[in-house]
């Protein structure tokens, strides 16, 4: 639990809080990007290089841009007339507490499997990119191909939706 961890964690939490509390939707999207960046830094701090860079490349480089495009192409970029706080906060609080309880249980339950509450990391094997590549192409090749198929289907679907709109207009 070093100072670096606290700084990065604080950054992520601040970004996430800003993403739900800010009024301007594009500001929220940018704050979400900050939260993604915080997560990527956490991955890097844990020496998971591939995960960290993939997080930056995919989330900040693509997902954040997708989110802002979506906000801009719909009417979400105008400042809302009502406040951000909902009218009955009780339901929200209950839902949030429930999710937090589930996530907390999962995290704590998994941390019991790890040795040493003192926080000293054991000598884990260094996972290099080559290992990830071997795993993807060897043991996990079926999930990889299914995910690729899913992405291709999504791409084709998007193209077809756009094309149909053009034909309907004609």
Which residues of this protein are in contact with other proteins, per CB under 8 A?
24, 26-27, 30, 33, 49-50, 53-54, 56-57, 60-62, 64-65, 68-69, 72, 77, 128-130, 166, 169-170
Cα 136 to its chain centre, rounded Å, is: 21
Q: How does 25-63 read in b/e, with b if 16+ C-beta sit within 10 Å? A: beebbbbbbbbbbbbbbbbbeeebeebbeebbeebbeee
**Residue 9 or 24: which CB sits closer to other proteins?**
24
96: tokens are 């949030």
Smallest gap, in angstroms, from Cβ of residue 100 to other proteins?
Answer: 30
**Please, what is the minimum distance in Å from the beta carbon of residue 1 to other proteins?**
21
Residue whose CB is less far from other proteins, 27 or 45: 27
Please state the closest distance from residue 86 (CB atom) to other proteins, in A: 25
CA dist., res. 45 & res. 4, Å (int):
8
């Amino acid at each position: 639990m070093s100072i670096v961890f606290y700084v990065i964690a604080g950054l992520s939490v601040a970004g996430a809080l800003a993403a739900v509390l800010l009024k301007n939707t594009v500001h929220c999207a940018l704050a979400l990007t900050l939260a993604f960046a915080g997560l990527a830094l956490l991955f890097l701090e844990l020496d998971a290089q591939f995960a960290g860079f993939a997080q930056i490349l995919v989330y900040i480089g693509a997902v954040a841009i997708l989110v802002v495009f979506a906000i801009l192409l719909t009417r979400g970029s105008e400042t809302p007339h009502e406040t951000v706080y909902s009218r009955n906060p009780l339901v929200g609080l209950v839902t949030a507490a429930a999710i937090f309880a589930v996530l907390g249980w999962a995290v704590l339950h998994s941390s019991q499997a790890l040795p040493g509450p003192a926080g000293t990391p054991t000598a884990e094997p260094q996972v290099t990119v080559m290992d990830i590549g071997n795993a993807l192409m060897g043991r996990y090749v079926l999930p990889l191909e299914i995910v690729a198929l899913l992405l291709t289907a999504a791409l084709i679907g998007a193209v077809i939706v756009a094309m149909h709109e053009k034909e309907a207009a004609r």
